[in-house]
Amino acid sequence: MSPDRPLGRPAPRTTSGHYDRSVPDCLFCGIAAGQIPATIMLDGKRTIAFRDINPQAPTHVLVVPRDHFPDVAALAAAGDGLLDELVGTAREIAVTEGIEASGYRIVFNTGQDGGQTVGHVHAHVLGGRPMTWPPG
């Protein structure tokens, strides 16, 4: 996926110290709002899951929070249970895709050196083939 903003730039913060719910130039905020088309797999109140446009495995689904957080560290710091919900949604995808029993990988790329290309936290759910280690 193409970057929505340089990863070095933090997301705008509201006066309460929380990240904005939506960032106008963010690809994943646009998908969550229904403004950008995607193949939606699960559509929840606080999370949405959709197929990656450049799949790296037979199953490759992205799970994102509807609210904008720049990375998993910011999401974890928010501490409102949304990170747990995101991982729970990833498990639901594994069940739906029939890969729960055989195994799957959940990946959060964080920062430029971590391979994050879109500055909106997202979990990659990968499965349907054996995964190798190290991953890259």
Q: Report, as residue numbers or ranges, the catalytic residues.
A: 122
Give the CA radius of gyration of the chain. Answer: 14
Which residues, at least 6 apart from 86, have a Cβ–Cβ distance to it below 8 Å? 47, 63, 64, 65, 75, 121, 123
Cross-strand bridge partners of residue 123: 63
* Residues 93, 86: Cα–Cα separation, whole Å: 11
Residue entry with tokens 């905020």: 29
